[in-house]
Amino acid sequence: MIGDVIHLEDRHLETAEKIYKMMDQNSSLPEKRTVGICGESGSGKSVTAFALKKILEDKGIKSLVIQMDDYFKLPPKTNHENRQKSLENVGIHEVHLNILQKNMKAFKEGTSNFEKPLVHYQNNSIVTEIVETENTEVLIIEGTYILSIDEFDFSIFIDRNYKDTYKNRMERNRDEQSDFVEKVLDIEHRIISKFKEKADIVLGKNYQIVKP
């Protein structure tokens, strides 16, 4: 998503190094690997994804980060207004996960590029972009509902709920802060929490590995 700024800290890189070692020990992983990182708003999905990307590339492994936010059917402001019309509009059905799965399949099949949506938060718009994947070995995908997809080779769940991440969300100041937003986050929490048991790795509140 255009407009996001990622700040990596030592704790993110230290955890990413441990994740890399666990992945490296798994000899069953294919040459073209997909990694899913799931968690609630403000939980640290993006920093975990980009920290892992840095560690991988330090090891000479070319990787790419894709953000699920780019696959929302409506641009951010419009999607927020749609949620205000009815809280029933909140959920997995807001996202083009079918397009994301198609992009994952193309990557796994060795295509040199694929076309994906790209959200511009400030402009409240969605355009398309061509993503080059030639020589890319690991595709890292982060997002709230990512682990509803079963095709990942390796998966990470960040076990921090929307109450734990309140401070992070205030600092990002990307979303309106209101009782309505907290209701939205509660709905998302009830959906996302079900994915925890599917993950290969679970990160705790301080980014420490608590599973396995």
Based on C-alpha coordinates, what's the Rg of the chain? 17
The set of residues, in sequence order, having a beta carbon less than 8 Å from that of 27 and lying 6+ positions away, is none
Residue type, 141: I
pLDDT of residue 174: 52
pLDDT of residue 177: 62
Q: Which two tokens stand for residue 196?
A: 């925890």
Half-sphere exposure for 147 (CA within 13 Å, toward CB): 24
pLDDT of residue 42: 86
What confidence tens digit (pLDDT) does each residue in 60-111 have? 999 999 999 999 999 999 999 999 999 999 999 999 999 999 999 999 999 9
Buried b (16+ CB within 10 A) or exposed e, 62-74: ebbbbbbbbbbeb
pLDDT of residue 1: 53
CA dihedral 198, 202, 204, 210 (to 10 degrees): 120
How many C-beta atoms lie closer than 10 Å to residue 170's C-beta?
Answer: 11
Residue type, 187: I
Q: Which residues pair with 125 in a beta bridge?
A: 120
Angle at 47 between CA 41 and CA 53, to 5 degrees: 135
Q: Which positions of the chain have pLDDT values less than 50?
A: none
Question: 10-211 is classed in which CATH architecture?
Answer: 3-Layer(aba) Sandwich (3.40)
Measured CA to CA, the distance from residue 139 to residue 35 in angstroms comes to 6
Domain spans in the chain, listed from the N-terminal domain onward: 10-211
Please return the burial class of 3, using the count of CB atoms within 10 Å of its CB with bins 0-12, 13-18 and 19+. Answer: exposed
Question: Position of tokens 């921090």?
Answer: 160
DSSP class of residue 108 equals H
